[in-house]
Amino acid sequence: MSGLAILLGAALGYAAVRFKVKEDPMVEQIDAILPQTQCGQCGFPGCKPYAEAMATGKADINQCPPGGEEGIRKLAALMGVEFKPLNAEHGEPKPKSLAVIDENICIGCTLCIQACPVDAILGAAKQMHTVIASECTGCELCVAPCPVDCISMVPIAENVATWKWKYPLIPLKALH
Amino acid sequence: MTHPIQNFHGGVHPEENKQVSTQSPIRVAPIPQQVFVPLRQHIGEPARPCVAVGDRVRKGQIIAKADGYISVAAHAPTSGTVTAIALHPVPHPSGLSDPCIHITADGKDEWIERIAVDYRTTNISTLRNHLRDMGIAGLGGAAFPTFIKLNPGAAGAVKTLLLNGGECEPWISCDDMTMRERAAEVLQGAAIMRCMLHADTVLAGIEDNKPEAIAAMREAARNCDFPVEIIVVPTLYPSGGAKQMIKLITGREVPSGGRSTDIGVATFNVGTAYAVHRAINHGEPLISRVVTVTGNVGRAQNFDALIGTPIQELLALAGDAPEPVTGYLMGGPMMGIELAQTEIPVVKATNCILVKSDRLFPPPPRALPCIRCTRCADACPAELQPQELYWHARSKNFDKAQDYQLFDCIECGCCSYVCPSHIPLVQYYRYAKSEISAREKEQQAADHARSRHESRLMRIEREQRERAEKLAMKAAVKTSDAPARPADDAKKAAIQAAIERAKIQQADNVNNHPSTK
């Protein structure tokens, strides 16, 4: 009997190590929906921590302004809860923007570099800094730390490459 | 000897209206005072300018280089001075402007040195790069870089070279006139492409409403040093679609989501073949093309126009519009795009400028609800279910729309043409396609940001650990150098005590739980 117990115990112990679930799959699924701006408007230091809080029921699904209404709908569907409108306490959805450093004003303090969650700012102490446009998520985290207010958020203009066909609005003929 | 024709599914037969623009030969349009050469004229990455404002350029000089793999170069269409590299309206459904190189012509039309290449003795890879630098992109409408399609890939992958002379859209006649007047040159271009692809067979498909073009191509084929079969296909829109032309001539279907090369066929527009001939045998880059100017104009005809010519110049040559103008289309009435203004330049994809009037193109009747009659499904040449696609695109149910193979839709407009409720179906498909593509791009950007954020967190953690280790090392060096202080002794004693306690506990565990073996 005890031999069997040990055998099963060993098997279970092995399985626990071998098939260990490294991370909560729910967190991964939620994180996949979040827009990854890492802006922290939800009140958590990044998208992953917010996903973890949501998975453990410590945060609500309507705290992510960049994800917008569509993001909330996806989260509601995933978590099996009712849709609710965006909580205005966390901000409002804005058009996607890029941070732009006024290079004439920048004093090279590196504070924005430390604030950027995706390492999209290039520069060194007492050297001019610049934003790598292709990497910027528009999170605005670099704006507040700047001591000389030389960073502005510029909305991304629509061009031929980013233009989208609009939803057709056609007048329907009245049937009566 | 007649080649068997396998009809494709569906199709429609709108009024052709082609004869109005084929009454006079192709006319070379005069050099405009100013040309606007867009950097983005082809599918793929826009070309990168390699001239500066104020530079004098000669005709055929490269002014923007291919940037990235899917890209081709752009050239000065005439000699003159670069006055700006700036936004200018371009032919695009958005009506937006895009970067263009503005050149003021000096009227001398002075060529660069043109060097012909012997394609029989030149390495294929060199030829492909040459065609990219000559700016050759498909002239049938999609403007896909031609050199990419001329990659034979795995040896013998392409068995058949198919010249597409379908030109099925109503009103357009630029390919017709090219074949009538330049058939021998088209086939010389085909000879180059045949050699590059190692193709066994060369076929050309032409709709039966172009008897003069068929005769000219047959005559040219007789004088060719390789066999070319000219195949007459019935007039049925959209026979000029690459996939439809392949079905008509070979009886084979391009798999869903696939390319024609998947079934060993490479398809090129006849105008593209002509451009390849000019580039290789004459050293002339793609700086002009044949453009049909027709519809509500005084004298409809085809022009050999420089790329970058504002369309208003061509409209002036075609004479005053007899009726009030209600708009301009680039392309035909089925697939053409609206042009908001006439400063827009001719680009590599401009096959036709169609001037509208209310009589020729009455505004569409108001749309009625879909009655699910499935006439659209009968007409769809891609054998899709347009009524289902419409349903899902309209309700923004994009996953479902993709399940119904939305991306196999060629946007030919047959479904809207036959719809008894006059629903602009294609507009819904375009909306859904561009929305899906935008989401995919957003998802890629999010995944990219996630990985960058994660590597940043890892880097910060590593830096902290390294700093702590460094501090610990420094501290260790200090303690070994300095004589032991009372505080250190106390710590040592505490550690020693802890070790003793652990030992005792271990011994207890062994005594209380003897091995069951």
pLDDT score for B406? 96
Per-window interface: B 450-479 vs A, CB < 8 A? 450, 452-453, 455-456
Question: How many of the other CB atoms lie within 10 Å of CB of B3?
Answer: 14
- The domains of chain A, with CATH numbers, are 21-90 (1.10.15.40), 94-158 (3.30.70.20)
**Is the distance from CB of B19 to CB of B244 less than 8 angstroms?**
no
Q: Closest-CA residue in chain A for B433?
A: A165
- What stretch of H or E contains B82? strand B80-89
Q: Which residues of A touch B38 (CB under 8 A)?
A: none
Q: State the span(s) of chain B assigned CATH 1.10.1060.
A: 367-481
pLDDT score for A119? 93
B446 and A135 in contact by Cβ < 8 A? no
pLDDT (mean) for A135-143: 93
- What stretch of H or E contains B235? none
Residue with more model confidence, A161 or B247? B247
- The answer to whether residue A50 neighbours chain B at the CB level (below 8 Å) is no
* Partner residue facing B452 (CB), from A2, A47, A135: A135
A165 and B430 in contact by Cβ < 8 A? yes
Fold of B118-329: Rossmann fold (3.40.50)
Tokens of B204: 């050309």
pLDDT score for A175? 52
- The answer to whether residue B439 neighbours chain A at the CB level (below 8 Å) is no
Q: Indicate the burial class of A9 (C-beta count within 10 angstroms; 0-12, 13-18, 19 or more).
A: exposed
pLDDT at residue A170 tops 70: no
- The answer to whether residue B428 neighbours chain A at the CB level (below 8 Å) is yes
pLDDT score for A70? 87
Tokens of A83: 């849709």
- What does the DSSP 8-state code read for residue A10? H
* Partner residue facing B435 (CB), from A120, A137, A164: A164
A119 and B430 in contact by Cβ < 8 A? no
Cis before residue B238, ω within 30 degrees of 0?
A: yes
* Partner residue facing A172 (CB), from B93, B366, B438: B366
Size of interface A-B (CB pairs under 8 A): 85
* Partner residue facing B366 (CB), from A34, A47, A173: A173
Q: Where are the alpha helices (DSSP H) in A121-161?
A: none
pLDDT tens digit string along A60-100?
999 999 998 889 999 999 999 999 999 989 988 888 899 99
CATH architecture of B367-481: Orthogonal Bundle (1.10)
- What does the DSSP 8-state code read for residue B408? G
Residue B287 CA, chain-centre distance (Å), reads 18
Q: What are phi and psi of A29, to 5 degrees?
A: -65, -40
With H, G, I as helix, E, B as strand and everything else as coil, classify residue B406: helix
pLDDT score for A21? 67
Q: How far is A4 from chain B (nearest CA, A)?
A: 12
Q: How far is B37 from chain A (nearest CA, A)?
A: 15
B449 and A119 in contact by Cβ < 8 A? no
**Is the distance from CB of B406 to CB of B431 less than 8 angstroms?**
no
**Is the distance from CB of B133 to CB of B67 less than 8 angstroms?**
no
Which residues sit opposite B295 in a β-bridge? Answer: B355
A159 and B438 in contact by Cβ < 8 A? no
Tens digit of pLDDT at every position of chain B (517 positions): 467 889 999 999 999 999 999 999 999 999 999 999 999 999 999 999 999 999 999 999 999 999 999 999 999 999 999 999 999 999 999 999 999 999 999 999 999 999 999 999 999 999 999 999 999 999 988 899 999 999 876 556 788 999 999 999 999 999 999 999 999 999 999 999 999 999 999 999 999 999 999 999 999 999 999 999 999 999 999 999 999 999 999 999 999 988 888 888 999 999 999 999 999 999 999 999 999 999 999 999 999 999 999 999 999 999 999 999 999 999 999 999 999 999 999 999 999 999 999 999 998 888 999 999 999 999 999 999 999 999 999 999 999 999 999 999 999 999 999 999 999 999 999 999 999 999 999 999 999 999 999 999 999 999 999 999 999 999 888 777 655 555 667 777 777 887 788 778 777 766 655 444 3
Q: State the span(s) of chain B assigned CATH 3.40.50.11540.
A: 118-329
Q: Closest-CA residue in chain B for A157?
A: B96
Question: How many of the other CB atoms lie within 10 Å of CB of B305?
Answer: 27
Which residues sit opposite B301 in a β-bridge? Answer: B293
Contacting residues for B83 by C-beta, under 8 A, at least 6 apart: B34, B53, B102, B103, B104
Contacting residues for B125 by C-beta, under 8 A, at least 6 apart: none
Q: How many angstroms separate the Cα of B394 from the Cα of each of B309, B369, B390, B406? A: 39, 12, 6, 13
How many whole angstroms separate alpha carbon B188 and alpha carbon B191?
Answer: 5
Q: How far is B375 from chain A (nearest CA, A)?
A: 20
Instruction: Identify the CA nearest to A128 among candidates A153, A151, A103.
Output: A103
- The answer to whether residue B90 neighbours chain A at the CB level (below 8 Å) is yes
With H, G, I as helix, E, B as strand and everything else as coil, classify residue B105: strand
End-to-end CA distance of chain B: 93
Residue A67 CA, chain-centre distance (Å), reads 8
pLDDT (mean) for A43-53: 92
pLDDT score for B515? 45
How many whole angstroms separate alpha carbon B377 and alpha carbon B11?
Answer: 10
B427 and A168 in contact by Cβ < 8 A? yes
* Partner residue facing B431 (CB), from A36, A117, A166: A166
pLDDT (mean) for A137-158: 93
- What stretch of H or E contains B122? none
